[in-house]
Amino acid sequence: METLLAGNPANGVAKPTCNGVGALPVANSHAIIATPPAAATLAPAGATLGRHLARRLVQIGASDVFAVPGDFNLTLLDYLIAEPGLTLVGCCNELNAGYAADGYARSRGVGACAVTFTVGGLSVLNAIAGAYSENLPVVCIVGGPNSNDYGTNRILHHTIGLPDFSQELRCFQTITCYQAIINNLDDAHEQIDTAIATALRESKPVYISVSCNLAGLSHPTFSRDPVPMFISPRLSNKANLEYAVEAAADFLNKAVKPVMVGGPKIRVAKAREAFAAVADASGYPFAVMPAAKGLVPEHHPRFIGTYWGAVSTTFCAEIVESADAYLFAGPIFNDYSSVGYSLLLKREKAVIVQPDRMVVGDGPAFGCILMPEFLRALAKRLRRNTTAYDNYRRIFVPDREPPNGKPNEPLRVNVLFKHIKGMLSGDSAVVAETGDSWFNCQKLRLPEGCGYEFQMQYGSIGWSVGATLGYAQAAKDKRVIACIGDGSFQVQYGTSIHGTHAVSLSVPVRAHC
């Protein structure tokens, strides 16, 4: 969505490297940046690899790093601790550190964790895989072997006992979008910047391994104040955008009772406001796919609930599946979201908009268009049509509130969630664990400003405990309410959430519904 400019100390001119997602608090994104004189000659005191990496994390908004110390990353952690504006949050184990970075990225837009070589790297793998599945930019930093150990056929501790240092890298290659092995200083600056830029551009995790003996060394490419990372907007192909909007508007304006459905890739595309703009302009009722809960405004008068096939919010599936046209923004159709591929939808009735492309019915398809720009342009071209919403109002019957339990009877889950519903406000956020909490939290109607997070695609048991720590650390203005099954909570009980404004609700799966 934006273009990142990183300084090139060799010629003193910033050059575009790649596109990134996210906004940085830097002015004049199109400026040509002169290299500080000191960086072109000798690196000043303190201009080390460790400090450069720390500064980059602060610049992209990752002001907290979730870490587990180990002898391969101790020197690097010293530089992260020393960096103004950067806080090192110690975690009980690497898996929890990765989960916390995941939760942090959901609120802040980017997260970071730091672990040690192999024994730590392989432990954090599951959390990074989950962040990959959820399209979250997480910078996973690993303290690597001494740079002099490469190619020596030596066997190191914390490994599986083979003189091959690539095992950890090979594992990360399938669950990160970029991998940087920093075992020399000459290209360390370039590798760090490229890795971070790629994480922002792809909205996926990246892996950075830093040799343990290099973190404290200086190099001419590391200036005391690193050349800022500049983010400038990406733009759609104007011709493609116009054709796509015309085709979609023509398709939807011919429909008698069109509807809208929001999907989880709205987050990647940063299209929440644009989606709401279409709903306001068109008069269409809109629903949300289960994995996208919290990404559309549920306080909106035309929000009709979660579209989840046979287990949808009452009356929602009837309206969506009886429509003669539906606009899906950022959908993911997997076995979970489609209830075993049982959705009663027809492709020829759908306009499907993804972060950088869209397709109308069975075709045509248009690429190189960004979802927010497309939706904002489409909102201006749609004729107002409230037919589907009027049909919904005719059949809608409000759910009855469950009666309160008596003092001596077992607590029922529906009564528990009735009280949770009463706790929600714009200053709160809900983190829902895999399992029963998925289904019960889907029934919560979120007030304006209330956050909501869960991990539907990956569904890692215990994810929410670490994610609650990370989310609460990033969103200190929110009261985080974590709904976690008792078994899931036991899996991750080692995570500390002290110092956060979090409320953890362990929901026994045996409770009566």
Residues 6+ apart with CB under 8 A from 510: none
Q: Which amino acid is at 505?
A: L
Token pair recorded at residue 210: 């830093």
How far is residue 367's CA from residue 426's CA, in Å, rounded to a whole number?
A: 37
- 3-class DSSP assignment, residue 288: strand
Closest among 144, 63, 170 to 108, alpha carbons compared = 63
How buried is residue 41: exposed, middle or buried, by Cβ count under 10 Å (0-12/13-18/19+)?
Answer: exposed
Decide: 481 and 431 in contact? Cβ < 8 Å: yes
The amino acid occupying position 508 is P
Which strand ranges, in their side-by-side order, compose the sheet holding 502-507? 451-454, 428-432, 479-485, 502-507
DSSP letters along 364-397, please?
A: -EEES--HHHHHHHHHTTPPP--HHHHHHHHH--
**In angstroms, rounded to a whole number, what is the distance separating the alpha carbons of residues 314 and 366?**
35
State how far the alpha carbon of 228 is from the alpha carbons of 24, 28, 60, 360, in Å.
Answer: 10, 11, 10, 41
Q: Contact at 8 Å (CB) between 97 and 80?
A: no
Question: How far is Cα 136 from Cα 156, in angstroms, rounded to an integer?
Answer: 32
Q: Give the residue ranges of DSSP H helices in 109-254.
A: 121-133, 167-173, 188-202, 238-253
CA distance 280 to 509: 40
- The angle formed by the CA atoms of residues 266, 329 and 135, to the nearest 5 degrees, is 35
The values of phi and psi at residue 454, to 5°, are: -160, 170
Helix (H) or strand (E) holding 208: strand 206-211
> Which letter does DSSP use for residue 294 in this model?
T
User: How far are the Cα atoms of 188, 288, 298, 427, 445 from residue 442, in angstroms, in the given order?
Assistant: 45, 10, 12, 19, 8
Contact 78, 446 (CB under 8 A): no
In this structure, what token pair is assigned to residue 379? 């909102």
Q: 447, 133, 95, 126: which is closest to 291 by C-alpha? A: 133
Tokens of 322: 């009886």
Residue 64 marked ligand-binding: no
Alpha-carbon span 167 to 96, nearest angstrom: 22
Cα pseudo-dihedral 294, 296, 298, 304, rounded to 10: -120
Residue list for the binding site:
486
Residue list for the binding site for Mg(2+):
486
